[in-house]
């Protein structure tokens, strides 16, 4: 959707091979591409294509035709959270018990090497060091750092989610993408998150004009195509605007909410909460963890993992395991969830060094706020 006063160059005639000229300049990062996920039409900067959303990555190729091809190639390998979500009965019939066990066993046998890096699929998206995101909280916007701050809270970025040491992989989750990660699970399961994190409610009240849109996205009866369309609309109306038209106060609120959810995931993906594995109706791996609502009700957190397994990441040190990306997260009550747990892939018996595992379990189980990190919850109390 073109902004007022914007225009785009005519597109090439070959379907799926179009690239318009730059229509707007992002003051901090000019190479922001937009792509239509259905046609793989690529534009540099916002275009008139109603279905185009921000490309999940940053291309530094100066040849625009080559850059467009890199965008298309990456899009074909990127995964979304909609297919791993709770409400997908419209996609496939539920998999049988033994088929799910076979799928989960295949996940357990996956291996990776140095050629399978996250950057080959999500180019140039920063993988943040442990305290990088927290530094934004300690250093609020001022005249000197406002542009940097605004870019940091708007950009795509990866955050490490350390899984229990008995797992043979760890995890990462993305910020600011409507179809995957923290923003996706907030939009798709807002009510569930409010039940677990009451601090989200006053923040959602500050962006009331998006409440109706979020309610519609969260509707459990929507089909995959409906949810995809609604998420693209949110991206267009809120995140896709040119740099100088973004409401950064609202963006800061959405950033705050994503980080509260991140802290909850961090604190609850411990070995003590680990229940086991299941599958989405279309074969996405789900890892189940026991959780509680703010009222003390027993729930289970479903963490949907990517199909891809990526090579270890230096920024996750000392966690040197390969990792999966978390495409979405949702909850169910414990009685219902127990029927969806097919097997428990990892146990202490799998590890040869029991004492080391016990030590690591204690380290990983310490709440995130206790790790000399800034407490977000205190910000809203």
DSSP string, 252-285: HHHHHHHHHHHHHHHHH-STTTEEEEEE-TTS-E
The yes-or-no verdict on residue 42 having pLDDT over 70 is yes
- Cβ proximity of 170 and 323 under 8 Å: yes
For the ranges 102-116, 144-158, 216-230, 291-305, the maximum mean pLDDT occurs at 291-305
Q: Taken in order 135, 209, 380, 232, is the CA torsion positive or negative?
A: negative
Tell me the CA distances in angstroms from 223 to 39, 83, 176, 217, 230, one per residue in order. Answer: 20, 10, 22, 10, 11
Helix axis angle, 248-268 to 146-154, nearest 10° = 50
pLDDT in tens, 265-278: 999 999 999 999 99
Q: Please give the average per-residue pLDDT across 341-347, as a whole number.
A: 87
- pLDDT bracket for residue 144 (50, 70, 90): low
> What is the value of pTM for the model shown?
0.81
The yes-or-no verdict on residue 168 having pLDDT over 80 is yes
- Show the tokens assigned to 33: 């591409």
pLDDT in tens, 259-316: 999 999 999 999 999 999 998 877 889 999 999 999 999 999 999 999 999 999 888 8
pLDDT for position 167: 93
pLDDT for position 51: 74
237 vs 369, higher pLDDT: 237
């Amino acid at each position: 959707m073109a902004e007022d006063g914007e225009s785009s160059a005519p597109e090439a005639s070959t379907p799926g091979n179009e690239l318009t000229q730059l229509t707007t300049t992002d003051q901090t990062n000019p190479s922001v591409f937009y792509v239509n996920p259905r046609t793989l039409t690529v534009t540099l900067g916002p275009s008139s294509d109603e279905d185009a959303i921000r490309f999940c990555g940053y291309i530094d190729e100066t040849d625009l035709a080559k850059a467009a091809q890199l965008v298309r190639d990456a899009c074909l390998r990127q995964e979304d959270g909609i297919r791993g979500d709770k409400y997908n009965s419209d996609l496939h019939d539920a998999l049988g018990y033994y088929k799910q066990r076979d799928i989960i066993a295949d996940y357990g046998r996956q291996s990776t090497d140095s050629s399978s890096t996250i950057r080959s699929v999500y180019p140039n998206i920063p993988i943040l060091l442990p305290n990088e995101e927290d530094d934004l909280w300690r250093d609020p916007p001022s005249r000197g750092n406002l542009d940097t701050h605004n870019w940091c809270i708007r950009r795509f970025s990866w955050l490490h989610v350390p899984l229990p040491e008995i797992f043979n992989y760890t995890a990462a989750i993305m910020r600011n993408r409507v179809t995957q990660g923290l923003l996706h699970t907030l939009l798709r399961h807002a009510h569930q998150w409010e039940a677990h994190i009451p601090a989200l409610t006053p923040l959602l009240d500050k962006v009331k004009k998006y409440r109706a849109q979020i309610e519609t996205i969260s509707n459990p009866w929507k089909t995959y195509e409906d949810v995809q369309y609604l998420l693209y609309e949110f991206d267009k109306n809120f995140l896709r605007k040119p740099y100088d038209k973004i409401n950064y106060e609202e963006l800061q609120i959405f950033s705050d909410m994503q980080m509260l959810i991140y802290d909850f995931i961090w604190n609850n993906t411990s070995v003590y909460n680990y229940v086991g594995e299941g599958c989405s109706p279309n074969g996405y791996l789900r890892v189940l963890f026991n959780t509680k609502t703010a009222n003390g009700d027993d729930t289970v957190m479903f963490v949907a993992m990517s199909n891809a397994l990526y090579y270890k990441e230096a920024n996750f040190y000392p966690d040197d395991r390969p990792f999966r990306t978390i495409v979405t997260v949702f909850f169910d009550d414990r009685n219902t969830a127990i029927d969806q747990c097919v097997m428990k892939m990892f146990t202490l018996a799998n590890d040869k060094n029991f004492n080391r595992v016990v030590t690591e379990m204690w380290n990983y189980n310490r709440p995130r706020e206790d790790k000399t990190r800034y407490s977000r919850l205190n910000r809203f109390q």
